Amino acid sequence: MVNVFKKYTSLTIFFIVFSCNLNAQTIFEQDICNCGVTGDGFSTNIPSDTGIITLNLPSSAMIRKAYLFYNLTHRVANATHDLYSDMEKPSSSIFINSMPLNLQDGIGINSEFFSFSTPTLINSDRIFCQDVTSVINSLTGTYTLVTSDLDIFNDYYYNNYYLFVVYESNLLQKMGYTIVVNNQNSNPFLNFPIDVNNQMEASNDIGLALNTLHICSPSLYQDGSYVFINNNNIGLIGGSENNSPTLCSSSRATFNYQDGALTSNSSSDNVNNIMSGTDVIALLNPYLTDFDSVNVRYQYQSLGDIRERTNNVLEHFLTYTTPCDTFSVSTPNDTTVCYGTQLQLNATGGQSYEWLPSTGLSCDTCPNPIFSADSTMHYTVRIWNNDSCSVVRPLQILVSKPSLDAVLLTPPDCGTNNGQLTFSGSSFSWLPLSYSINGGGLQTDSTFVNLAEGTYVLRVEDSVGCFADTTVFLQSVNNTVAQFNTSAGGTEVPVTVWGENTSQNATNYEWFVNGTFFSNSQDILPIFNNTGVQTIMLIAWQYDPACADTAYTQIVIQNEIVVPTAFTPDNDGINDFWEILYLDEVYPDNQVFVYNRWGNLIYTSTKGDYAGRPWRGGFENLSPQGEELPVGSYFYVIETGVSATLDNPSSETFHNPNASQTAAEVLEAKLRGSVTVVR
Domain boundaries in the chain?
A: 13-320, 335-399, 403-474, 484-557, 566-677
What's the CA angle centered on 11, arms 5 and 16, to 5 degrees? Answer: 40
Write out pLDDT tens, residues 460-479: 999 999 999 999 999 999 99
Beta-bridged to residue 49, according to DSSP, are 147
CA atoms within 13 A on the CB side of 422: 4
Q: What is the pLDDT of residue 90?
A: 67
Q: What is the pLDDT of residue 47?
A: 60
Report yes or no: 206 and 176 within 8 Å, Cβ to Cβ.
Answer: no
Q: What is the pLDDT of residue 481?
A: 96
Please check whether the two domains, 403-474 and 484-557, share a CATH topology: yes
Q: How far apart are CA 394 and CA 345, in angstroms?
A: 12
Counting Cβ atoms within 10 Å, is residue 612 exposed (0-12), middle (13-18) or buried (19+)? Answer: exposed
Q: Give the three-state DSSP class for 131.
A: strand
Q: What is the pLDDT of residue 591?
A: 93
Beta-bridged to residue 669, according to DSSP, are none
Q: What is the pLDDT of residue 429?
A: 65
User: What contacts 580, CB < 8 A, 6 or more positions away?
Assistant: 561, 562, 563, 564, 592, 610, 614, 638
**Residue 82 has what DSSP assignment?**
P
User: What contacts 439, CB < 8 A, 6 or more positions away?
Assistant: 457, 459
Q: What is the pLDDT of residue 679?
A: 80
Report yes or no: 418 and 412 within 8 Å, Cβ to Cβ.
Answer: yes
What's the CA angle centered on 547, arms 545 and 549, to 5 degrees? Answer: 95
Write out pLDDT tens, residues 432-461: 899 999 999 999 999 999 999 999 999 999
Nearest Cα neighbor of 357 from 340, 383, 339, 381 is: 381
Q: What is the CA radius of gyration of the chain?
A: 50
The CATH number of the structural domain formed by 484-557 is 2.60.40.10
What class has domain 403-474?
Answer: mainly beta
Q: What is the pLDDT of residue 21?
A: 33
Q: How many CB atoms lie within 10 A of CB 83?
A: 11
Q: State the first-to-last Cα distance of the chain, in angstroms, to the nearest integer.
A: 120
Q: How far apart are CA 246 and CA 44, in angstroms?
A: 7
Report yes or no: 25 and 180 within 8 Å, Cβ to Cβ.
Answer: yes
Write out pLDDT tens, residues 100-147: 988 887 888 887 888 876 667 777 888 988 999 999 999 999 999 888
The secondary structure of 601-638 as a DSSP string is: EEEEPPTT-GGGS---SEETTTSSS-EEPPSEEEEEEE
The secondary structure of 541-605 as a DSSP string is: ESS-GGG-EEEEEEEEE-PPPB--SEE--SSSSSS-S---BTHHHH-TT-EEEEE-TT--EEEEP
Q: Give the three-state DSSP class for 442.
A: coil
Q: What is the pLDDT of residue 659?
A: 41
Stretches in the chain below the pLDDT threshold 50 = 1-24, 79, 87, 644-661
CA distances from 362 to 205, 355, 370, 393, 406 (A): 43, 11, 5, 19, 36
User: How many H helices and E strands in the chain?
Assistant: 2, 47
CA distances from 486 to 402, 512, 537, 548, 659 (A): 60, 14, 11, 21, 17
Its pTM stands at 0.65
Beta-bridged to residue 38, according to DSSP, are 165, 256
CA distances from 10 to 31, 198, 394 (A): 12, 17, 18
Nearest Cα neighbor of 109 from 382, 379, 427, 391 is: 379
Q: What is the pLDDT of residue 647?
A: 40
Q: What is the pLDDT of residue 582?
A: 86
